Amino acid sequence: MLDAVVEAAVNGPEDEPDGWDRVDWDRAEREVRRLRQRIFTASRDGDLRRVRSLQRLMLRSRSNALVGVRRVTERNAGRTTAGVAGPRQSCCLATKACDRL
């Protein structure tokens, strides 16, 4: 029973291979920022159902996974983490983060 493969629905291109250098970072960060703003607004308005829905969307967002991996591997002190060497592995980490959902 544990050998079953489970596919998760993740936002992102289906026909293009992931390429760390081909990611439109401005667009990815804009999408994540907009989603965070929508979560904040729904929270401020007290719409908990919408907050949970948007949080679920955020967790399944490919842009969120890419931006998160980029922060760890390139921007902050975690960029020197052992086992993460360059854009190729960063791309693999982002893919695994999306697949895990």
> Quick one: angle between helices 62-70 and 86-100, nearest 10?
140
Q: What is the pLDDT of residues 41-80, one digit of tens each?
A: 999 999 999 999 999 999 999 999 889 888 877 766 655 6
Domain-located, residue 59: yes
Asked if the structure places residue 10 within a domain, the reply is no
The pLDDT of residue 8 is above 90: no
Place of tokens 């390139």: 74
Higher pLDDT, 14 or 26: 26
pTM of the model: 0.64
> CA 101 to CA 81: how far, in whole Å?
23
- Report if residue 62 sits inside a domain: yes
Let me know: does 84 contact 52? Beta carbons within 8 Å: no
Q: Looking at the domain assignment, is residue 12 inside a domain? A: no
**Number of compact structural domains in the chain:** 1
Q: Give residue 63's pLDDT.
A: 92
* 4 in any annotated domain: no
Range of the domain at 92: 24-100
Q: Is residue 18 part of a domain?
A: no
Is residue 6 in a domain? Answer: no
Is residue 1 over pLDDT 50? no
